[in-house]
Amino acid sequence: MDKLLYDDVHHALRKDRAFTATPQRAVPPSDDELLHKGLAAQLDREPHSIGSADIHQRTEFGTVKTPFGTVVVSHDRGTDSVAIHGVNVATSDLGDDLRQSLIATSAAFSAAETAEEQVSQRNIIALIVGEALRRREWLAAEVKRRLQRQRYE
């Protein structure tokens, strides 16, 4: 009877312990797994060299001159938004005409092969952003506030 009690207690204690595989017991990864992990690590380190790992495609236009001053503009096609001097705005909030113009100009900017082509597209972006700032007072106020803060910092 004592043997049965001992076996039950011993089994209960062993069951409560966490089992961790020691390196001797672990199965080494296959070549496929190693290749997959290596490619994933390479994508994390250098997305520009073998294709972007990010599903969002962002176009950085740099600085453009608007009636409100020189602002930094970028377009994120993945989230369908535009960042005007750090203020993120959904392109649908700009209006259909400005949204379509922004998308077309962003694509033309990305496809440009020379600096001159990019400069002409950047000028069009400046017009689109200037019109968006003119139409949306809240956007213009926030961009002005950020420009003022930047000027005095």
Q: Please, which pLDDT band fits residue 150 given cuts at 50, 70 and 90?
A: confident
Distances (CA, A) of 143 to 19, 28, 50, 130: 58, 55, 36, 11
Does pLDDT of 20 surpass 80? Answer: no
Q: What is the pLDDT of residues 42-91, one digit of tens each?
A: 666 654 544 444 545 788 888 899 888 889 998 888 888 899 988 889 98
Q: Mean pLDDT across the stretch 124-153? A: 88
Domain range summary for the chain, segments of one domain joined by +:
2-50, 58-151
Give dist(CA 125, CA 107) in Å, integer.
11
Selected residue with higher pLDDT from 38 and 66: 66
